[in-house]
Amino acid sequence: MTGGDTLWHGRFGEGPAEALMAYTVSLPFDRRLAADDIAGSRAHVRGLGRAGILADGEVTSVLGALDAVEAELEDGTFTFVPSDEDIHTAVERRVTELAGAAGAKLHTGRSRNDQVATDLRRYTKRELAVTGAALADLAAVLAARAAEAGDAYLPGYTHLQRAQPVLLAHHLAAHAWALARDIDRLVDALERMDVSPLGAGALAGSSLPLDPEAVAADLGFGAVFDNSLDAVSDRDFVAESLFVLALAGVHLSRLGEEVVLWASEEVGFLGLDDAYATGSSMLPQKKNPDIGELARGKAGRLIGNLTGLLVTLKGLPLAYNRDLQEDKEPLFDSLDQVRLGAIAMGGLLATATFRTDAMATAADAEVTAATDLAEHLVVAGVPFRDAHAIVGALVRRSLDEGIPLAELVAASDDLGPDAVALLGPGVAVQRRTTRGGGGPGPVAEQLERLTARLAGVDARLAPWLPAADG
């Protein structure tokens, strides 16, 4: 036997073509499932023991072999052979080499179809939570920088045109609220995916007295499948993960775009720490915001990963089809990219310098108080539409004739000298007083709510995270 027999060699007169193996193997990427595959096999073997299908001694010997395989995989001494088409095949092959006849009983009542679905759910439950923790850390950085931003303010924008001033804390916190929703969505997905498919077999369950419920509990799943066809073919948990990750990636990209914009010389609101910026190979003066740009750029592939999987799933007949092997690479990639992006962005924001003077100068442009002038008239009884027109006409004259708005306001019959104070530096931001608004009063309250919100999502996430020890 060169390179080992296939799992199905009994039915076949000759071995697989090299071209088939080259095209169909998943080992290069599903090796990531090794630890989960071994955990799944341990639970399955214990279940076979409880069912009386394996004798106690056989269970012990298979568990021992699984421990040895785990150690070999961890220390790099595991030798893969050419017939190891995926991690499940490789582990079972090695267990059988080590445990002999008992090892050959490991796959009793199990198919790679329920096995891979189990492994991937278990992997996703953990890794999605780890990615959620990275997003939570980024949200915490935003909240911390918001808390220390004090009364610094900048122009808020619509259409990328200066609109009304807001506190810097308000702007930073806005991104943190989006991340809190991402983590909520992520935990929603975790709760739904916490269902064990093990025991579904290839598609229809088993004639052997297996107990899928007990195996699910042994593996730490909160529930067990109700329909074996659904259990082996359901990849909703991958699609949901990819959506959650794509949307988080979109949020990272919006944050990234603002980093790029703010770090530009034209805007000048943000100075990047050397450790979180890159230089140019040719232009000695450059300090580039590559993390922000990649956060923007990688959103494309995160959306592509989701789209690709949905197209793979679309129209698949029940139950397992090999197409489903295409679930793993996009999932692994999206988990990696969002985790790495959140960590890099957190480092960038934790170390960046906010140029609050440049922000204030931009925000103190007279026109950003135009709404306050109109609202001043509203308080005096002028219908808002008329007030808007009055102030709009003053702004137009100021721009056309190059006269400071303050002068025109002072001379205006409608407004007059009293209203000029509204144009003073830092005045307009103080006047944003309603709940959730951008002025100091509501922002202080908001930051308290944000702290509670982030503690809430941390608490929801915590039970899903692997225990933090070495």
Q: How far apart are CA 333 and CA 242, in angstroms?
A: 10
* Closer by beta carbon to ligand ARG, 18 or else 400: 18
Residues 286, 55: Cα–Cα separation, whole Å: 69
In the set 41, 207, 251, 280, the catalytic residue is 280
Nearer to ligand ARG, 88 or 145 (CB): 88
What radius of gyration do the chain's Cα atoms show? 30
Closest to ligand ARG by CB, 213 or 230: 230
113 versus 334: smaller Cβ distance to ligand ARG: 113
Q: Supply the minimum distance, in Å, between the C-beta of residue 85 and ligand ARG.
A: 7
Is position 207 annotated as part of the catalytic site?
no
3-class SS of residue 438:
coil
Helix 87-99, helix 112-148: angle, nearest 10: 120
Active site residue 280: yes
Residue 235 CB, shortest distance to ligand ARG, in Å, is: 10
Distance of CA 28 to the CA centre of its chain: 24
- Smaller CB separation from ligand ARG, 26 or 398: 26
Between 55 and 318, CB nearer to ligand ARG: 318
What is the Cα–Cα distance from 75 to 95, expressed in whole angstroms?
17
Cα–Cα–Cα angle for 303, 304, 305, nearest 5°?
90
* Residue 81 burial (10 A CB sphere; 0-12, 13-18, 19+): middle
Write out the two tokens for 420. 């000029």
Say how far apart CA 246 and CA 130 lie, in whole Å: 16
The C-alpha atoms of residue 163 and residue 191 are separated, in whole angstroms, by 41
3-state helix, strand, coil in the chain (%, to 5): 65, 5, 30
Q: How far is the CB of 193 from ligand ARG (least distance, A)?
A: 17
Binding site for ligand ARG (CB under 6 A): 26, 30, 86, 112-113, 116, 320, 322, 324-325
* DSSP symbols for 301-363: HHHHHHHHHHHHHTTPPSS--GGGGGGHHHHHHHHHHHHHHHHHHHHHHHHPEE-HHHHHHHH
111, 159, 233, 264: the catalytic one is 159
The answer to whether the beta carbons of residues 42 and 122 sit under 8 Å apart is: no
Q: Any idea which residues carry the catalytic annotation?
A: 159, 280
